[in-house]
């Protein structure tokens, strides 16, 4: 059965907004999730990164809002400020069609300004667990009107230690509220919270056998640790992506990699958890707009980032585990588009690639770089052999060839030796003396008398240094003064000398 937005029973205003944004048909996770959410079921949805999970929960959430009420009715939690802002923009875009108001509540921003915005009675709030918990604790945000709570990247929310904050929020809500978790993986911590708080949850598993997008190519390149920055440089020059996202495990190494890549001429900026909100926001904006070529990031900072048409993801350090590899790699190839993921590893890290290959069931191939292409190991050897210059072998010379005079060797034109050629007509007088003297000079290295011609040996050329007259003291003094002087001063001095 063909699934369309109309068959999912979305309101016409939302369908029109979708088509204005060139989204013509739902993805599998949207097709499965939207009817369940509209029916009020608790949901745990597991789907690969970049498959359209944000619209899968935001469209039914917006449709369920009662705009006649001034209470906060929908709460969306995200692990990072950047992801929360992305969700907020989606909610704002599609909520406007139905008159639904949305407010972002993230850490790092002014709490006083957020409190003032809450007085405008938003229907949906999107934020990080820490800031929302803080606002609830201070009495600035009420939970009694919330009918639906959504946690995006739920596995990361619980892995980052926000379980207590999330459960505190759930305790403050009415018991008949709806809960929905969305993630690319389902770790045990997430499963435990589902068991404690959900009521007969519906499990949604899209493409369970393949958690990474099918149009993404997965490679790894082996090098020494000290050569990783240079390898990344060569890789980017080879693949020529409009932009690339480079992941690193430790923030201590970010400044080092940033300096090396900038030295190579790339426009590079960093994104990490400790950076202030304003700087992180402006960096992401430049990267999305194409004004920044390389973004160097940690896992936490880049979690859930949606960068349109990102072609290349590079792991400068291997992902900590298979789940982190899925989330990193999911930054490219989103919504069925193609992309490339390359891990740069040392020999000691090869076992990690084997582990990811087995756990994720992906075709993770080793590659080498040569002549502007990626080759499988051994493939480039044939090309290297063709590029080697061919040796030109000559016939073995006899011991007499070394002393053979010019003209006595094999002729290049006819292959005949000079001895087989008919003798040249005899020359007499001065005409014969010159070639005889030349032959004597070539053979012996110095001029010798031509005894057979009866002529005197050619006179030696006089050394040009000895023929020059000695310079006067005034000329030597003038040269000494002119040494290193500018041209105009030399010309002036020469002119004065000429007048004298």
Domain annotation covers residue 292: yes
pLDDT at 340: 92
Q: What integer best gives the mean pLDDT of the chain?
A: 79
User: Where does a domain end: 320, 355, 377?
Assistant: 377
**More confident position, 260 or 371:** 260
pLDDT at 331: 83
User: Where does a domain end: 179, 205, 231?
Assistant: 205
pLDDT at 227: 93
* Span 111-134, pLDDT tens digits: 999 999 999 999 999 999 999 999
Domain annotation covers residue 467: no
> Does residue 167 sit in the same domain as residue 282?
no
pLDDT at 308: 73
Please state the pTM of the whole predicted model.
0.60
Domain annotation covers residue 299: yes
CATH number at residue 270: 3.40.50.300
- The mean-pLDDT minimum among 88-92, 169-173, 187-191, 212-216 falls in 212-216
> Does residue 242 sit in the same domain as residue 121?
no
> Does residue 245 sit in the same domain as residue 294?
yes
**More confident position, 399 or 219:** 219
Q: 412 pLDDT exceeds 90?
A: no
Q: 406 pLDDT exceeds 70?
A: no
The parent domain of residue 240 ranges over 216-377
First to last CA, the chain: 109
> Does residue 279 sit in the same domain as residue 200?
no
**More confident position, 309 or 85:** 85
pLDDT at 352: 94
> Does residue 122 sit in the same domain as residue 268?
no
> Does residue 127 sit in the same domain as residue 38?
yes
Residue 149's φ and ψ, nearest 5 degrees, are: -120, 130
User: Where does a domain end: 180, 205, 230?
Assistant: 205
Domain annotation covers residue 238: yes
> Does residue 52 sit in the same domain as residue 198?
yes
Domain count, the chain: 2
Q: Can you say whether the dihedral through the CA atoms of 236, 241, 243, 246 is positive or negative?
A: negative
* Span 18-43, pLDDT tens digits: 999 888 889 889 999 999 999 999 99
Domain annotation covers residue 389: no
> Does residue 109 sit in the same domain as residue 180?
yes
Q: How confident is the model at residue 97 (pLDDT cuts 50, 70, 90)?
A: confident
Residues of the chain above pLDDT 70, percent = 73
> Does residue 177 sit in the same domain as residue 34?
yes
Strand order from edge to edge, sheet including 312-315 = 268-271, 294-297, 244-247, 312-315, 339-345, 216-222, 364-366
**More confident position, 385 or 464:** 385
Q: How confident is the model at residue 266 (pLDDT cuts 50, 70, 90)?
A: very high
Residues 6+ apart with CB under 8 A from 77: 127, 128, 129, 132, 149, 150, 151, 152, 157, 162, 166, 169
Domain annotation covers residue 89: yes
Q: 215 pLDDT exceeds 60?
A: yes
> Does residue 189 sit in the same domain as residue 224?
no
- The mean-pLDDT minimum among 27-36, 128-137, 405-414, 487-496 falls in 405-414
Q: 88 pLDDT exceeds 50?
A: yes
Mean pLDDT of 388-392: 48
pLDDT at 307: 77
Mean pLDDT of 476-481: 73
Biggest CA–CA distance in the chain, Å, is 130
Q: How confident is the model at residue 399 (pLDDT cuts 50, 70, 90)?
A: very low
Mean pLDDT of 184-188: 82
* Span 292-346, pLDDT tens digits: 899 998 886 666 677 777 889 999 999 988 888 888 888 887 766 788 999 999 9
Domain annotation covers residue 442: no
> Does residue 41 sit in the same domain as residue 149?
yes
Q: How confident is the model at residue 158 (pLDDT cuts 50, 70, 90)?
A: confident
Domain annotation covers residue 94: yes
> Does residue 363 sit in the same domain as residue 220?
yes
pLDDT at 326: 84
pLDDT at 469: 61
């Amino acid at each position: 059965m063909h699934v369309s937005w109309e068959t999912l029973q979305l309101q016409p205003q939302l369908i029109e907004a979708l088509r204005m944004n060139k989204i013509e048909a739902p993805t599998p996770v949207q097709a499965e999730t939207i009817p369940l959410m509209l029916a009020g079921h608790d949901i745990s949805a597991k789907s690969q990164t970049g498959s359209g999970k944000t619209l899968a929960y935001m469209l039914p959430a917006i449709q369920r809002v009662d705009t006649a009420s001034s209470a906060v009715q929908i709460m969306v939690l995200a692990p990072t400020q950047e992801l929360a802002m992305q969700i907020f923009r989606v909610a704002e875009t599609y909520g406007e069609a139905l008159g639904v108001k949305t407010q972002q509540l993230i850490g790092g921003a002014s709490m006083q300004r957020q409190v003032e915005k809450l007085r405008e009675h938003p229907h949906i709030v999107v934020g990080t667990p820490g800031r929302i918990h803080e606002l609830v604790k201070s009495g600035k945000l009420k939970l009694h009107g919330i009918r639906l709570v959504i946690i995006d990247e739920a596995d990361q929310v619980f892995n980052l230690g926000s379980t207590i904050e999330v459960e505190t929020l759930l305790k403050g809500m009415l018991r008949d509220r709806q809960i929905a978790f969305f993630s690319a993986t389902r770790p045990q911590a997430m499963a435990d919270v589902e068991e404690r708080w959900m009521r007969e949850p519906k499990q949604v598993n899209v493409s369970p056998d393949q958690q990474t997008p099918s149009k993404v190519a997965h490679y790894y390149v082996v090098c020494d640790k000290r050569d990783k920055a240079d390898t990344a440089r060569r890789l980017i020059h080879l693949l020529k992506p409009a932009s690339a996202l480079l992941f690193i495990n430790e923030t201590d190494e970010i400044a080092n990699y940033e300096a090396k890549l900038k030295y190579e001429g790339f426009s590079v900026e960093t994104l990490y958890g400790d950076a202030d909100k304003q700087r992180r926001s402006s960096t992401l904006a430049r990267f999305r707009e194409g004004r920044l070529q390389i973004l160097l990031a940690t896992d936490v900072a880049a979690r859930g980032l949606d960068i349109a048409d990102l072609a290349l993801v590079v792991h400068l350090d291997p992902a900590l585990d298979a789940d982190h590899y899925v989330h990193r790699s999911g930054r490219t190839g989103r919504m069925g588009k193609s992309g490339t993921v390359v891990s740069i590893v040392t020999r000691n890290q090869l076992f990690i690639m084997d582990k990811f290959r087995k756990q994720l069931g992906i075709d993770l191939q080793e590659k080498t770089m040569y002549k502007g292409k990626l080759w499988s190991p051994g493939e480039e050897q044939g090309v290297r052999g063709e590029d080697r210059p061919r040796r030109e072998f000559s016939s073995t010379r006899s011991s007499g060839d070394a002393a053979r005079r010019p003209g006595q060797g094999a002729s290049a034109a006819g292959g005949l030796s000079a001895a087989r050629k008919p003798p040249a007509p005899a020359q007499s007088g001065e005409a014969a003396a010159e070639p005889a003297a030349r032959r004597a000079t070539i053979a012996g290295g110095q001029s010798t008398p031509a005894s057979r011609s009866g002529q005197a040996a050619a006179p030696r050329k006089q050394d040009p240094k000895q023929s020059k007259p000695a310079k006067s003291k005034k000329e030597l003094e003038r040269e000494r003064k002119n040494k290193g002087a500018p041209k105009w001063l030399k010309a002036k001095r020469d002119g004065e000398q000429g007048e004298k």
